Structure 1
């Protein structure tokens, strides 16, 4: 398989470009919203009115009729910031430069279609057919739309990785509820070991997988039934006559002896089709208790009438022998698929030093995957991929950047005695670069969703910032590191919010009357636009911070001699799944 279009030197250059941009702008991302009013954040970092920022954000950062900036900006500014005061003076320039320093702007990512085409070319050259069990499952039958989109998009890539590497095992780190693991096992016939640190998750994944296997068997029966339908003629009128006389031929057994038994109630669901007269539909309408799971989801035009069963006594000897042979072959295939397609949930806390052979007795060469692995687990899985010879490929989609540990952040002392999650690459480690926790929190913001008016609850942030002013003015002994928790969702008003918060913090709420509390709200309410505008600046910077974290991981893989292919790939629609980028690597054969 060809190497990615970006070399190590090119990735290092892109990292340096993003790092230069963030060295000027990162102070905005690291400003804490809780301290917005107590530290007068707006005036410290900006020299423009909030309405100008909100207007620029709504227009996408483009000026009408103005030339696009190339990084130098106006005289005396750098990325929109004044060189002398370090305050924002040109919002349009900042937003344009933020776009240019995000992953799409840098042009370093492959699309999912480009990656799959490269896989297909590789498989075509090797002559190996794509994997699959032959039963097409629809993941939205048993998971929500977001998870279904993620699982379906990622599983095809993982299956192609397995084909390229000629392996049949997959190790899913941070497997959670096991949706991806189960789908890879059932859809693609892979042996999947799902490892999660939570025993509750692994127990639930095991039970969920058991149910999905039943779902898969039912789905395969339905697929076979549809094929059989095309070969058998059926008369609805004859079936109506059978109903009148109490004859159940053609109802008790759905598609003949060899196709397996389906309940009478499930058969009734299939009989209800647009080809059957209304009187028949009324007689055969199913109840909620008897509807089969997958049949109830089928569209009306996909539901077909049942073929008439031919009694065994009317079959010729040759036909009986043919059916017997096909039945034995089908059972052998089912046993083979059951043996090869296995999902085994395991409970273990995984680090880069974890010995996989101690967890998995039958470990073979495998693909390591992780779908939205939190914090340090994503970089740990990349370190493990590099260190373990049995891992032939990796596909890692990380999340929860605020949980990453940073080696060179002076605020994180505990990382000095352990392996940290950022930076991974030698290139950034040599520069002792760090982002800071608040900046990593900002990296979790979803630009595409916020642009459509989703994602940020401004009022809750405003309440928390004004509460901090009250704590500063009336509770000087209060330590700001204490957490208020989810008080806003239960509060009926700002006064109720403050009183609930004071009780949560075990502070004397009798110091303040309701009118005193309300006065704080009324004083700062006119400045709420400042907070809104500032948070939109954070959202604009979020893709740049995330991009640096992911480029660091890609650079780490490109620094390894044994990794023959590595790339950043956009797997998901960012509106459905904001953490949409996968780090993919394959080792030398």
Structure 2
């Protein structure tokens, strides 16, 4: 076993040892915060007792400080924050690269770094940032690997490839399973092409300047297709690009936020299909991954999720075979502690209101089943729990609001402190779960004999929380 494989396995084993006892906390549902006594049952005793003795504002400030490494405090709260962080992805090592280190890798493979092209129209500021960052690296990797076509799995609106073709003259195929989305993307691409000279700017030394007329007209095409690990991408590419019919297609498979199992399927395509010379994949929507769940996990949504015989989205590696996370833990992994800390975001009060309502329903209407989504718009229309309870009572026909005394609604302020702190403490596990998912994918590729395999911290996690990209080159 080579040193990188050994390091990966050791890193994964350390995360599993730390995370496994905490999976009930990661998999709990905040709706059941009061009914299932999460504060008492799921927090480590020492941490809970420390927080019980602190004012909410003091504890929250200590949390922010601990996350930013500014504190010298050795409290249970600081130890919790630092322990969680110690089990997350380490940057600047053998298998997790910065953008600069990735650029150097591309250069070592014979590629040249392309200038950044920034497009601010026709997409959100977040998407513009992601597209300008990724399309430049995509183009450089495309040429370094001798690719003849880049395929984006789950390309949606086609923003990435609209930029890649017009700015860098790449032959690109956007694949998506939704015909309406593809039709809209194709029309949007034509508009972007017409407006290109006005909306695109080349960035050099921090300064923006106009770009010449688009150079990749007609190189961006579309295919309606549901991508699985068995999809023959070479055949699809040759169908859409007849000029490649008699050539050996070399495909750079990419994806900007591939949802659920699409990310694992892309990696399995890379590992199994010789025509795929490289993969550049940014994952997303971990809650949509499939896994074989242990029924003992506190998973309130996903039991027997996924079709019979379907290969699971997690875990991918043989090393983790049989290990389960649970849907709520995977949903937690998509939350951004970086953004929460940077913007000092506390949870919405509606989170507590929903938990208080759940407690009242369980106590006074134990047989009532509340379908998910029925109270979706209530929070936006109410300012406190009394208003929330009244509106929810009317919508659900509970007939509780008028019959219960005010004292039955509990101590909202006391419960709010506990819920805020519980939310923040649980949020620390988000980065741990995501790290395990990403390292499992990396290990899968290593197990299949690929050595040019890396994670790249591609985006600023505050701007784009799913910031890591999986890169593999044959």
Supply the distance in 2 between the matched residues of 1:396 and 1:475 (Cα, whole angstroms). Answer: 48
Supply the distance in 2 between the matched residues of 1:357 and 1:586 (Cα, whole angstroms). Answer: 17
Give the CA deviation at 1:6: 6.7
**SS, match of residue 445 in structure 1:** coil
- The residue that corresponds to 1:100 in the other structure is 86
Supply the distance in 2 between the matched residues of 1:503 and 1:441 (Cα, whole angstroms). Answer: 31
* Structure 1: gaps of 5 or more residues: 68-88, 224-297, 304-329
Is the contact between residue 167 and residue 216 of structure 2 (CA under 8 Å) also seen in structure 1?
Answer: no
Supply the distance in 2 between the matched residues of 1:345 and 1:215 (Cα, whole angstroms). Answer: 20
Report the more deviating stretch, 368-377 or 26-35: 26-35
* Structure 2: gaps of 5 or more residues: 296-301
Determine which of 312, 334, 354 is the counterpart of 1:420: 312
**Is 2:17 the partner of 1:11?**
no
Backbone CA RMSD of aligned residues = 3.0
In structure 2, the CA distance between the partners of 1:90 and 1:207, relative to structure 1 (3 Å rule), is same
Supply the distance in 2 between the matched residues of 1:66 and 1:196 (Cα, whole angstroms). Answer: 50
Equivalent residue pairs, number: 441
Give the CA deviation at 1:131: 6.2
Give the CA deviation at 1:574: 0.7
**SS, match of residue 60 in structure 1:** helix
Supply the distance in 2 between the matched residues of 1:480 and 1:183 (Cα, whole angstroms). Answer: 46
**Is 2:415 the partner of 1:509?**
no
**Is 2:166 the partner of 1:186?**
yes
Supply the distance in 2 between the matched residues of 1:577 and 1:6 (Cα, whole angstroms). Answer: 32
Determine which of 13, 19, 32 is the counterpart of 2:29: 32
Determine which of 447, 450, 470 is the counterpart of 2:360: 470
Is the contact between residue 62 and residue 71 of structure 2 (CA under 8 Å) also seen in structure 1?
Answer: no
Per-residue displacement from partner, 1:341-393 (whole Å, max 9, x unpaired)?
Answer: 61112222211122224533136211000101111111111111112211110
In structure 2, the CA distance between the partners of 1:387 and 1:499, relative to structure 1 (3 Å rule), is farther
The residue correspondences of 1:8-407 to structure 2 (distance < 5 A) are 8-46=5-43, 47=45, 48=49, 49-50=51-52, 51=54, 53-60=59-66, 90-104=76-90, 107=93, 108-123=95-110, 137-217=117-197, 337-338=215-216, 342-360=219-237, 361=239, 362=241, 364-407=249-292
In structure 2, the CA distance between the partners of 1:37 and 1:370, relative to structure 1 (3 Å rule), is same
- The residue that corresponds to 1:327 in the other structure is none
Structure of larger gyration radius: 1
Give the CA deviation at 1:548: 0.3
Per-residue displacement from partner, 1:393-424 (whole Å, max 9, x unpaired)?
Answer: 00111111111111344353143532211001
In structure 2, the CA distance between the partners of 1:19 and 1:481, relative to structure 1 (3 Å rule), is farther
Determine which of 436, 448, 460 is the counterpart of 2:350: 460
Supply the distance in 1 between the matched residues of 2:460 and 2:222 (Cα, whole angstroms). Answer: 28
Give the CA deviation at 1:174: 1.1
Supply the distance in 2 between the matched residues of 1:356 and 1:113 (Cα, whole angstroms). Answer: 31
- The residue that corresponds to 1:310 in the other structure is none
- The residue that corresponds to 2:430 in the other structure is 542
In structure 2, the CA distance between the partners of 1:577 and 1:129, relative to structure 1 (3 Å rule), is closer
In structure 2, the CA distance between the partners of 1:466 and 1:106, relative to structure 1 (3 Å rule), is farther
Determine which of 327, 334, 339 is the counterpart of 1:444: 334
Determine which of 486, 489, 501 is the counterpart of 2:380: 489
Using structure 2 for the length normalisation, give the TM-score: 0.85
Is the contact between residue 406 and residue 422 of structure 1 (CA under 8 Å) also seen in structure 2?
Answer: yes
In structure 2, the CA distance between the partners of 1:37 and 1:130, relative to structure 1 (3 Å rule), is closer
- The residue that corresponds to 1:239 in the other structure is none
Give the CA deviation at 1:36: 0.5
Supply the distance in 2 between the matched residues of 1:457 and 1:425 (Cα, whole angstroms). Answer: 35
**SS, match of residue 393 in structure 1:** strand
**SS, match of residue 424 in structure 1:** coil
- The residue that corresponds to 1:569 in the other structure is 456
In structure 2, the CA distance between the partners of 1:396 and 1:536, relative to structure 1 (3 Å rule), is same
In structure 2, the CA distance between the partners of 1:154 and 1:408, relative to structure 1 (3 Å rule), is same
Is the contact between residue 95 and residue 540 of structure 1 (CA under 8 Å) also seen in structure 2?
Answer: yes
**Is 2:417 the partner of 1:529?**
yes
In structure 2, the CA distance between the partners of 1:451 and 1:477, relative to structure 1 (3 Å rule), is same
Using structure 1 for the length normalisation, give the TM-score: 0.69
Give the CA deviation at 1:549: 0.4
Supply the distance in 1 between the matched residues of 2:9 and 2:378 (Cα, whole angstroms). Answer: 44
In structure 2, the CA distance between the partners of 1:372 and 1:451, relative to structure 1 (3 Å rule), is same
In structure 2, the CA distance between the partners of 1:94 and 1:131, relative to structure 1 (3 Å rule), is closer
Supply the distance in 2 between the matched residues of 1:57 and 1:447 (Cα, whole angstroms). Answer: 11
Supply the distance in 2 between the matched residues of 1:456 and 1:172 (Cα, whole angstroms). Answer: 36
